[in-house]
Amino acid sequence: MNTRRKFIKKSAVTAVGIPLINVSNCYGAQQEVEKNISKKIIPTVISTWENQKANEAAWNVIKSGGSSLDAVETGVKVPEADPEDQSVGYGGRPDRKGIVTLDACIMNADGDAGSVSFLQGIKHPISVARKVMEETPHVMLVGSGAERFALAKGFEKINLLTDLSKREFEDWKKTSKYKPVINIEQHDTIGMLAIDKNGDIAGACTTSGLAYKMHGRVGDSPIIGAGMFVDNEIGGAAATGMGEAVLKSLGSFLVVELMRQGRTPFEACKEAVMRIIKKQQFGDIQVGYIAINKEGEYGAFAIQQGFNYVITQKGQTQLIDGQFFKK
Ligand code: GLY
């Protein structure tokens, strides 16, 4: 961010944390100021599935005055490093060639974005995505290019395939039947959104994607607007589940745009799910969305029963069963 923008951003928050905007030459400026003064900032962390530990890690960043960007990166690194989480990062289930390939994306409150896809051998794709955002002129790097970039930035190359995921893959090969199991092999992604003490929103999304996917397959998670999207004026959204369905509806962007039109986070998530239901075969797939708006309101909705999410506000973390369309 250039110095001038930094200055405006800093001066947009008073000592007591009340957000003000730079109103000079603004039509309707007085009204806008009043609207903003009356708004309270509600620091928030929300993530898909039972990622309480990830929320706690992110919350610690927010609590100590860190940025929402640092919070979401710190948070999603927890499942990325966990060998028992078989749908994210290290320990993720491989593709049908037995190779673990990772997708991730990140967005900050300025609308900057970074993403990596089909990345192999690197434990923290989210941190590589952040480096793409902050240290390259691009948004997305894929495959060997992303890997080379990561190695050049000092990331270590490791074997991501754990014994457990390898054993399961060997079993799967006996039939090679490709039918990802709802809420298990499609229980795939951590999407996380956070609001910091300045009221700024950031988001992150990271996954090893669908188990036993075709080699080279890329899902929704690294695609800005599909797997995750943030507009700091409005809110943010993230998706989990069958990436193909999310890609075809650019789901997270849609959720944010629906909130822009006045829907609550819950209504926006529900409408984005209904778009999939109206236009796609949804019987055997799961898709879930989480969303927050600038006021710290949150919501979620999924196609199938079984989707849950974690919300942290005022230091309290709760696991919530998402509402859904179909039992
Ligand atoms: N939602 C993650 C994927 O489909 O890869």
Interval 109-159: pLDDT, tens: 999 999 999 999 999 999 999 999 999 999 999 999 999 999 999 999 999
Top mutation candidate among 101, 178, 224, 242 for ligand 1, by most atoms within 8 Å of CB: 242
Distance 65 CA to ligand 1 centre (A): 32
Q: What percent of the chain has pLDDT over 70?
A: 86
DSSP type of residue 19: B
Which residue CA neighbors atom 5 of ligand 1 most closely?
A: 209
Which ligand 1 atom minimizes the distance to the CA of 239?
A: 1
Which residue CA neighbors atom 4 of ligand 1 most closely?
A: 243
Q: Which residues, including other chains, have CB under 8 Å from residue 255's CB and lie 6 or more apart?
A: 229, 237, 265, 268, 269, 271, 272, 289, 291
Is the CB of residue 288 below 6 angstroms from any atom belonging to ligand 1? no
Residue 21 has pLDDT above 90, yes or no: no
Q: Are 20 and 35 in contact (CB under 8 A)?
A: no
Catalytic pick among 74, 189, 206, 312: 189
Is the CB of residue 241 below 6 angstroms from any atom belonging to ligand 1? yes
Top mutation candidate among 93, 212, 214, 246 for ligand 1, by most atoms within 8 Å of CB: 246
Mean pLDDT, residues 222-251 taken together: 97
Is the CB of residue 95 below 6 angstroms from any atom belonging to ligand 1? no
Mean pLDDT of the chain: 89
Q: Minimal CA–CA distance to 192: which of 321, 58, 301, 42?
A: 58
Q: Minimal CA–CA distance to 111: which of 207, 202, 13?
A: 202
CATH superfamily ID and name for 40-326: (Glycosyl)asparaginase (3.60.20.30)
Residue 17 has pLDDT above 70, yes or no: no
Is the CB of residue 205 below 6 angstroms from any atom belonging to ligand 1? no
Whether 189 is a known active-site residue: answer: yes
Is the CB of residue 189 below 6 angstroms from any atom belonging to ligand 1? yes
Tell me, what's the pLDDT at 178?
A: 80
Q: Are 106 and 203 in contact (CB under 8 A)?
A: yes
Tell me, what's the pLDDT at 5?
A: 38
Which ligand 1 atom minimizes the distance to the CA of 213?
A: 5
Pairing state of beta strands 287-293 and 235-241? antiparallel
Vertex 324: Cα angle to 263 and 113 (nearest 5): 55
Which ligand 1 atom minimizes the distance to the CA of 210?
A: 5
Look up residue 156 and give its amino acid.
E
Report pLDDT digits (tens) over 170-205.
999 999 888 766 665 545 799 999 999 999 999 999
Range with lowest mean pLDDT among 13-17, 65-69, 94-98, 241-245: 13-17
Where residue 4 falls among pLDDT bands split at 50, 70, 90?
very low
Q: How far apart are CA 274 and CA 285, in angstroms?
A: 13
Tell me, what's the pLDDT at 199?
A: 98
